[in-house]
Amino acid sequence: MPLFAEVANVEIGVASGALRVSVRPRPTFVSLAASAAITVAFAAISALTWEKTTLLEHVIEAVGVLGAVVAWFQQLAGSEEEIEIGERGIRISREIFGWHRISEFPIEQCSDLDLQTNKEDSRQLQFRVGKWKTIEFGNYMSKEQAQKVLDTLADSFPEIARKLLPSLDITKHWMTLNLK
């Protein structure tokens, strides 16, 4: 496992006609220490050159340091992502610093639920809403954890999986030969 890779605690449960997945990232000590060191180094360099820089540079440096500090505390405190896949749709709830953001997508508009395909080392799940919009979720899950979510969905809810998982839609590439 790489030193800077964050891993996640993933809990998968089936209840009330829905698959519920809880993802809680666990940052490594090395990634926390490296982030803190880089932030402190940037702040120190900014402080040393403060008198020689313009007002615009002051604002950019201050916003950069503030953003890095907030990101470090977010990494330290952790965030939680709750994913619910049911007959009505997909619901993704993210909590960061006590703030909740909930996104809901009707099952009729969702398709192609799969591992993220634009990276070689996929660490997320993704699905399509409509024809053009792709939603990515499940940050920090390992490829094995993400695959377990897909397997649990296929085993527990085959009718929902048939709608969402591209590999189970056998009618997508079906050809009628009309042989007589």
- Give the chain's mean pLDDT: 82
Calculate mean pLDDT across residues 153-159. 88
| Cα–Cα distance, 152 to 129 (Å, whole number) | 21
- Predicted pLDDT at 106: 93
| Cα–Cα distance, 93 to 108 (Å, whole number) | 20
* pLDDT band of 84, cuts 50, 70, 90: very high
- Predicted pLDDT at 104: 93
| Cα–Cα distance, 136 to 124 (Å, whole number) | 7
Calculate mean pLDDT across residues 93-103. 83
Q: pLDDT tens digit string along 15-68? A: 888 999 998 887 778 878 888 899 999 999 888 988 998 999 989 999 999 998
- Predicted pLDDT at 76: 78
- Predicted pLDDT at 59: 93
Beta-carbon contacts of residue 41 (< 8 Å; ≥ 6 apart)? none
Provide the 10 A C-beta neighbour count for residue 10.
21
Q: 171, 109, 94: which is closest to 140 by C-alpha? A: 94
As its CATH architecture, domain 7-27+78-168 has: Roll (2.30)
Whether residue 5 has pLDDT greater than 60: no
DSSP string, the chain: --TT--EEEEEEEEETTEEEEEEEEE--HHHHHHHHHHHHHHHHHHHHTGGGS-HHHHHHHHHHHHHHHHHHHHHHH-EEEEEEEESSEEEEEEEETTEEEEEEEEGGGEEEEEE--SSSS---EEEEETTTEEEEE-TT--HHHHHHHHHHHHHH-HHHHHHH-GGG-TTTT-------
Whether residue 169 has pLDDT greater than 50: no
Calculate mean pLDDT across residues 146-156. 89
Q: pLDDT tens digit string along 108-143? A: 998 888 887 666 555 688 888 888 888 888 877 888
Calculate mean pLDDT across residues 5-23. 84
